[in-house]
Amino acid sequence: MDKFVIQGGHRLCGRLVVKGSKNAALPILAATLLTDQPVHLHDVPALADISSMFGLLRELGCSVDVRNPVPTSDPARMSIAGDTVHIRAEDETRSHARYDIVRTMRASICVLGPLLARRGYAKVSMPGGCAIGDRPVDLHIRGLRALGAEINLDQGDIVAHVPKRGGKPGRLVGARIFLGGPFGSTVLGTANVMSAATLAQGVTTIECAACEPEVVDLANLLNAMGAKVHGAGSPRITIEGVESLGGADHRVIPDRIEAGTYMCAAAITNGDITLENCPMDALMAVVDRLEAIGVVVTPSETGRDAPALESDPMRTTVRVTCSRNLRPVELTTQPHPGFPTDVQAQMMALLTIADGISVITERIYPERFLHVAELSRMGARIQRQGATAVVSGTRRLIGAPVMASDLRASACLILAGMAAEGTTTINRVYHLDRGYEQMETRLRSLGAKIERVSEKAGVGAEAV
Ligand code: EPZ
């Protein structure tokens, strides 16, 4: 397993292109199962989770052709937002998403709705829990059953089919569906039900739908394929079912979580970075908290395609700088447009060096605090009280060996390591590779002192 070795105390300065969104690309890739026509996607990030989804789609009978896959170690890659991928479902007889794929990537669950709607049958392994907490799929199942699917659990697999009618292959039927759960809406649950409803007979209304930008991007792809989805981005989505869907050509939105992570990186190192292809329209809650802390986020005219990009609030160029003294804040994670849970750990790292006491409350995954113990090893002063963490700012963090537990906790520890005095070693960085493309290469291009070390090299390990 690889690890990162970071020498702290170096400011980040320079430019970065925000990559295509992992959490938009995954349900969009799954939605290509809704047609037998070719779908062309652009700005698909080169990530471990995306590669896992490619593997799953190939197992489900799709051809997946990745164009311009520049080697990830190539600095030239840093100037592009992602790969172009051509996908076509050619063999529609294979509809089993096996456990050994699903257990590595929970988002595999979002093939369930498309398979069911297009092929009338799906067998998808139940995703397990993960480091951030339970990851139930009861709302997915509730929504698909409301569309007429028969769904059973069989030895860890979700087995779903559309009942035949009059001896002919059945078809899902539109319905009014409430998708709210104890923690609000469900992002991938909305993706599953919305995708399935595009081929249902009649109209489907989803109440308490997720409003995340990634749901909007998926709806835009579905409509480009010929679907009739209205209201995506609001809590009520209406889908008029159609007989079939065609191919499409679609550019994935930039990754708001990656952008928020790099904004925190600029702030924690008292740096000065310019982000291109930045989805500012999806970052208002994050920018609100950063500005309350003392971070300055300003539109920049210096982007290479600035005039063209500025016309799209989801693809802007912004400059991020920070005053020396960070102020403490209150922060509560909520469904979009509230503060995203996926930036909670990164903000906690930043707040460990703010001048005062901050309070972070986690309303989406109440157990999403595994990074607290690791930050404490670096001298952070954090008191966990259930779903709330009280962070008492300290003047400095001290580098130490720490352990990454999940994707966003990995990013949090890298930020802390860059701000700490001395050396920080982060183990199990495979978590990071799931959601951040070339993070160490891109941080080095901004002035960070960070090396990826391959554990298998043993003593005197060489940077890789
Ligand atoms: C998506 O996961 C994201 N993943 C997560 O990002 C993100 O943290 C999460 O949404 C919340 O914003 C992708 O898009 C691939 P949910 P998802 O269903 O859809 C409960 C990252 O770091 N719930 O919106 O699986 C659930 O327990 C990842 O990139 C049910 O109760 O999350 C949670 O408390 C981590 N029943 C809340 O809802 C269900 O059937 C939100 O979960 C489904 C969810």
* pLDDT of the residue at 130: 77
Calpha distance 352→326 (Å, rounded): 10
Tell me the two tokens of residue 45. Answer: 């990030």
How many C-beta atoms lie closer than 10 Å to residue 34's C-beta?
27
Alpha-carbon gap, residue 186 to 137, rounded angstroms:
9
Please give the pLDDT value at position 300: 82
Contact of 228 with 239, CB cutoff 8 Å: yes
Residue 461 has pLDDT above 60, yes or no: no
pLDDT in tens, 49-101: 999 999 999 999 999 999 877 777 777 788 889 999 999 999 999 989 988 88
Residue 462 pLDDT = 47
* Gap between the Cα atoms of 383 and 388, Å rounded: 8
Q: Residue 301 above 70 pLDDT?
A: no
Q: Which residues are catalytic?
A: 130
Q: Is residue 26 within 6 Å of ligand 1 at its C-beta? A: yes
Measured in angstroms, how far is the CA atom of residue 341 from the centroid of ligand 1?
9
State whether the beta carbon of 217 lies less than 6 angstroms from ligand 1: no
pTM of the full predicted structure?
A: 0.96
Closest CA to 28 of 42, 18, 15, 47: 42
186 CB under 6 A from ligand 1? yes
Of 50, 215, 364, the one to substitute when testing ligand 1's pocket (max ligand atoms within 8 A of C-beta) is 364
Distances (CA, A) of 424 to 295, 348, 403: 25, 17, 10
| CA pair distance 193, 327, nearest whole angstrom | 42
The backbone region for 237, taken as left when phi is positive above 0, alpha when psi lies in -120 to 50, beta otherwise, is beta
Percent of all residues in the chain with a pLDDT value above 90, rounded to a whole number: 83
| 458 CA from centroid of ligand 1 (Å) | 37
Contact residues for 439 (Cβ-Cβ < 8 A; gap 6+) = 411, 414, 432
pLDDT tens digits for 180-237?
A: 999 999 999 999 999 999 999 999 999 999 999 999 999 999 999 999 999 999 999 9
Q: What is the DSSP string of 306-367?
A: HHHHHT-TTSEEEEEEE-SSPPP-EEEE-STTSB-GGGHHHHHHHHTTSSSEEEEEESS-TT
Top pLDDT among 361 and 166 is at 361
Report which secondary-structure segment, H or E, holds 65.
strand 62-67
**Minimal-distance CA residue to ligand 1 atom 41:** 186
Cα-Cα end-to-end distance for the chain: 12
- The mean pLDDT value for 160-169 works out to 89
**Cα–Cα distance for residue pair 74/446, rounded to 1 Å:** 15
CB 250 within 8 A of CB 31: no
Indicate if ligand 1 lies below 6 Å from the C-beta of 339. Answer: no
Pocket lining: 198 vs ligand 1, CB cutoff 6 Å: no
How many other β-carbons are positioned within 10 Å of the β-carbon of residue 457?
12
Mean pLDDT of 137-146: 97
Residue 122, pLDDT above cutoff 70? yes
Span 231-252, mean pLDDT? 98
Shortest-distance Cα residue to atom 5 of ligand 1: 342
